[in-house]
Amino acid sequence: MNAEAVRPGGSKGPMSVLRGFLTPGWVITAVVVIVFAYTAFTVLAPWQLGKNEATSARNQRIEEAFNTDPVPLGTLVGTDGVVDPDLEWRRVTLTGRYLPDEEVLLRLRPVDHQPAVQGLVPFELDDGTVVLVNRGWLPVSAGTIPEVTPAPGGEVTVSGYLRRDEAVPERSPVTEQGHTQVHGISTAQISELTGVQLGRDYIQLAEGSPGGLEPIPLPKLDAGPYLSYGVQWIAFGVMAPLGLGYFIWAELRERRREREERASTAAVDTGTGTSAAVDPSPRPEPEEPSVDGDPATDAPDAAPPQRPRHNRPRRRARYGSGHTDYYRTIAEKNEERF
């Protein structure tokens, strides 16, 4: 017998235990748990924690911008209209005039969970620089674009928030109900449509400024659920291997119980056979049947002792009472035979 297979006391060696788990079910389960834990620690948790960090930085930047007094646009933005990411949402003032004939509408951009269009109009500063201004929004009902009041003519001074340009939308502009409509705030696309050279980024008009429509709501300073989601993924990554370890421990415990039960059954069987083989007492000679057929003298020899029945409560507790108890079935057959 291999020394690693069975140790004294009936326990198996490490290699034998390992081979017992090299089955498709256990191997697949272990691979799935390892892949899940690795993904939770390296992809899912950092993804949510990164979103929480970005949201917190954005909220801090917006809060600082709201607490800072507005300044002229030229002090923060150059003639190219490029807005530094750290300066987004800073309040600025602009002096110049609208170009209402070049206005386009932003469609399919809900505001406060309502279908809406937003007015995008070029604004020419006193130094000749032209920037795009988002005037605000108007609700859309039954797919009909409401009447958009043109921006005022003449020189005006407005205030707004610095905003970053968006990517060119995949959907092409459309012209409906007398308005040119776009699907994103891309100054490059709007510049091509209007023929006006615009700065790269744009201005979101503040409430109360001349030419404004319904003011666009400012973002809420809410960190969101990203931190809790990140912590949850870390917890799941820890719990998955622990759960696998628990099931392995339970399986080892059950296998040890089965080995002990088999060893106990084998010991009982061996003890019964040995006592029958070495019993020195002579068996009594069968008596001659009586002439008159007395039932007292015609009684057959006493039946051999029955083998003990072994209950299997642990096996039934694990597999249910619907499974066949083979040991009991064999004992019942022996009773019928004798």
Q: Return per-residue pLDDT of the chain as tens, 338 residues.
A: 444 444 544 556 667 667 777 888 888 999 999 999 999 999 999 999 999 998 888 888 888 888 899 999 999 999 899 999 889 999 999 999 999 999 999 998 899 889 999 999 999 998 899 999 999 999 998 878 888 999 998 999 999 999 999 999 999 999 988 889 999 999 999 999 999 999 999 999 999 999 999 999 988 888 888 999 999 999 999 999 999 999 989 988 888 888 888 888 888 777 665 544 445 555 555 555 554 545 444 445 555 555 555 555 555 555 555 555 555 666 666 665 55
Residues 54 and 102 placed together within one structural domain of the fold? no
Residues 61 and 22 placed together within one structural domain of the fold? yes
Q: Which domain holds residue 192?
A: 90-205
**Is position 315 within any domain?**
no
**Is position 178 within any domain?**
yes
Q: How many CB atoms lie within 10 A of CB 204?
A: 18
Residues 56 and 149 placed together within one structural domain of the fold? no
Number of H helices, E strands in the chain: 7, 9
Residues 198 and 238 placed together within one structural domain of the fold? no
* Residue 226: both structure tokens together: 């990203």
Residues 94 and 199 placed together within one structural domain of the fold? yes
Nearest to 141 by CA among 113, 109, 116: 116
What is the distance, to the nearest Å, from the Cα of residue 336 to the centroid of all Cα atoms in its chain?
61
Contact yes or no for 306/334 (Cβ under 8 A): yes
* Residue 285: both structure tokens together: 């000679």
Q: Mark which of 136, 171, 205 sits at the end of a domain.
A: 205
Amino acid found at 229: Y
**Is position 309 within any domain?**
no
pLDDT at residue 328, rounded to an integer:
62
**Is position 299 within any domain?**
no
**Is position 103 within any domain?**
yes
Percentages helix, strand, coil for the chain (3-state, rounded to 5) are 40, 20, 40
Rounded CA separation 334/303 (Å): 12
Residues 224 and 201 placed together within one structural domain of the fold? no
Residues 114 and 167 placed together within one structural domain of the fold? yes
Dump strand ranges (E) for the chain. Answer: 71-72, 91-98, 104-106, 116-125, 130-139, 155-163, 174-176, 179-182, 202-205
Residues 148 and 65 placed together within one structural domain of the fold? no
**Is position 325 within any domain?**
no
**Is position 107 within any domain?**
yes
pLDDT at residue 235, rounded to an integer:
95
Residues 99 and 200 placed together within one structural domain of the fold? yes
Reported pTM: 0.61
Provide the domain count of the chain.
Answer: 2
* Residue 37: both structure tokens together: 């834990």
Residues 124 and 155 placed together within one structural domain of the fold? yes
Opening angle at CA 226, ends 223 and 229, nearest 5: 145
Residues 94 and 195 placed together within one structural domain of the fold? yes
Q: Residues 111, 114, 120, 126: is their CA dihedral positive or negative?
A: negative
Residues 94 and 201 placed together within one structural domain of the fold? yes
**Is position 132 within any domain?**
yes
